[in-house]
Amino acid sequence: MIYSYNTCTITRMQEEDKELLQLFGKNLKTIREARATLNKFALNDSTLTPATVSRIENGLVNFKFVTLIKLANALKMHPSELLKDINYVYGEHNY
């Protein structure tokens, strides 16, 4: 029984992660399109390819902190600007 309970908890946490990633991705896409930034990030950094950016914008990948910094640099903004419109409390649906 405990195993089932833990599995359920993990599944719920993963669903919340997915919702948060989708929320961030939507925000990133809105900012990128508003700034009409370089053909989905024509960067010299091969780790931030158009495919990677697309997966982030669609909430399909849980990216690293370093990627957040690279995205902010590509958009010529502070990383906090990418998060400022996200009013999310983990564990609560408060967005």
**In the prediction, which pLDDT does 28 show?**
94
> Vertex 23, ends 33 and 58: CA angle to 5°?
65
Provide the 10 A C-beta neighbour count for residue 22: 14
**In the prediction, which pLDDT does 89 show?**
73
User: pTM of the predicted model, to two decimals?
Assistant: 0.73
Residues of the chain with pLDDT under 50: 1-6, 8
**In the prediction, which pLDDT does 44 show?**
54
* Helices and strands per DSSP (H, E), number in the chain: 5, 0
Q: Tens digit of pLDDT for each residue in 22-39?
A: 999 999 999 988 887 655
**In the prediction, which pLDDT does 22 show?**
94
**In the prediction, which pLDDT does 40 show?**
58
What is the assigned CATH class of domain 2-83? mainly alpha
**In the prediction, which pLDDT does 35 show?**
82
